[in-house]
């Protein structure tokens, strides 16, 4: 009896080691084998996160990582959005040029404020929010900007602003949980309420909404230049994905796949919030995926916002997207800015 038990134990142990060998072999085959796509996706995704760059260095040398990153890049759009091209008319039409335009403009249950459109990007679920009155889009932000605090969840900010729909916005100094320190300018109600430590002459990509409801994208601008261009609310992030109908030039897959968030406007003024779910290193959307979705729905100007764990879409007080596990458990990550739709 003891021999049978012993043999059974040896058999189970042997099977376990075989399984582990197969897993290890599979990992090394995927990371060092002939599949450049898998290797590039893993490295670019890891290196574009705030906290998990070390995951790329587990398998690859700094030289290999640099080579991969240099072969996957985008060429930033350096022109400003010409908002004179945008003529606001978001009323329902008698006819539409395609099914995507019809999907955007056909109101749902008489809701003339917004519409939630479910989409799919690969294996990932996404949400496109059509917004019919662009003058109701506003910047939302934490109560205060202080060192040592953790920002606020989008759910909390959205409730405080009493907005119907909200998404997260720009970057922040990351301390592992979040932060109340924005990266770059923050403009609210025609006033610069946060200036980066580099000072008033600091230049960056500014994503703004003008007083007449137009998405103003300004490349390499100061906060004062944004105010002079009639930006009422604004913040810093990027890259710009579409400017004056021209798409971001993307080589390879520079940022890998991840949860993504974007803001966009059509030439007829209709605004769009886009949120795509995913899990870092596994699924989600690439920058190219985001551009393709927005172009499909007619975006004329569009900008990438903070993604990953920060990805949040709140509709009527509820977080409806599915951010990565840590953020989902806590009803969203702490962030510092976002965009909201006034009721």
Q: Tell me the DSSP string of 37-65.
A: HHHHHHHHHHHTSSS-THHHHHHS-HHHH
pLDDT in tens, 27-60: 444 455 554 656 665 666 665 555 556 566 766 7
pLDDT in tens, 56-83: 676 678 777 667 767 789 999 999 999 9
Q: Is 14 helix (H, G, I), strand (E, B) or coil?
A: helix
| Angstrom distances, CA of residue 189 to CA of 107, 138, 140, 219, 238 | 30, 9, 11, 21, 22
Helices (H), ranges, 51-195: 54-59, 62-70, 99-105, 154-161
Rounded Cα–Cα distance for residues 290 and 262 (Å): 8
Q: Tell me the DSSP string of 198-253.
A: T-TT--EEEEEEETTS-EEEEEEE-HHHHHHTTEEEEEE---EEEETTEEPEEES-
Given this model, what pLDDT does residue 25 score? 44
Higher pLDDT pick, 13 / 293? 293
pLDDT in tens, 310-335: 999 999 999 999 988 777 788 999 99
Rounded Cα–Cα distance for residues 90 and 214 (Å): 13
Check whether 6 has a pLDDT greater than 90: no
**Is the bond leading into 159 cis (omega within 30 degrees of zero)?**
no
Out of 63-72, 144-153, 166-175, 204-213, least confident range: 63-72
């Amino acid at each position: 009896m003891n021999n049978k038990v012993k043999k059974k134990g040896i058999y189970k142990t042997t099977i376990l080691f075989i399984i582990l060998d197969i897993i290890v072999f599979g990992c090394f085959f995927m990371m060092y084998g002939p599949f450049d796509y898998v290797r590039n996706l893993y490295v670019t995704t890891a290196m574009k996160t705030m906290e998990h760059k070390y995951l790329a260095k587990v398998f690859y040398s700094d030289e290999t990582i640099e080579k991969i990153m240099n072969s996957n890049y985008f060429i930033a759009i350096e022109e400003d959005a010409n908002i004179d091209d945008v003529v606001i008319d978001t009323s329902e039409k008698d006819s539409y040029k395609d099914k995507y335009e019809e999907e955007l403009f056909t109101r749902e249950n008489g809701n003339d404020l917004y519409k939630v459109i479910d989409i799919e990007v690969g294996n990932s679920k996404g949400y496109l929010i059509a917004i019919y009155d662009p003058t109701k889009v506003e910047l939302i932000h934490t109560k205060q900007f202080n060192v040592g605090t953790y920002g606020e969840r989008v759910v909390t900010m959205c409730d405080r602003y009493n907005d119907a729909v909200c998404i997260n916005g720009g970057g922040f100094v990351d301390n592992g949980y979040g932060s109340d320190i924005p990266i770059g300018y923050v403009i609210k109600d025609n006033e610069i309420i946060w200036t980066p430590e580099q000072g008033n002459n600091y230049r960056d990509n500014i994503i703004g909404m003008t007083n007449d409801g137009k998405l103003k994208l300004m490349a390499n601008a100061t906060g004062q230049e944004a105010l002079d261009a009639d930006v009422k609310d604004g913040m810093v992030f990027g890259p710009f994905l579409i400017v004056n109908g021209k798409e971001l030039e993307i080589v390879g897959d520079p940022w890998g796949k991840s949860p993504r968030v974007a803001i966009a406007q059509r030439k007829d003024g209709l605004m769009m919030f886009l949120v795509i779910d995913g899990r870092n290193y596994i699924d989600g959307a690439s920058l190219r995926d985001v551009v393709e979705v927005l172009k499909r729905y007619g975006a004329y100007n569009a900008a990438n916002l903070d993604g990953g764990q920060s990805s949040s879409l709140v509709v009527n007080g509820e977080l409806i997207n599915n951010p990565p596990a840590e953020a989902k458990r806590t009803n969203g990550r702490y962030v510092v800015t976002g965009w909201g739709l006034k009721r």
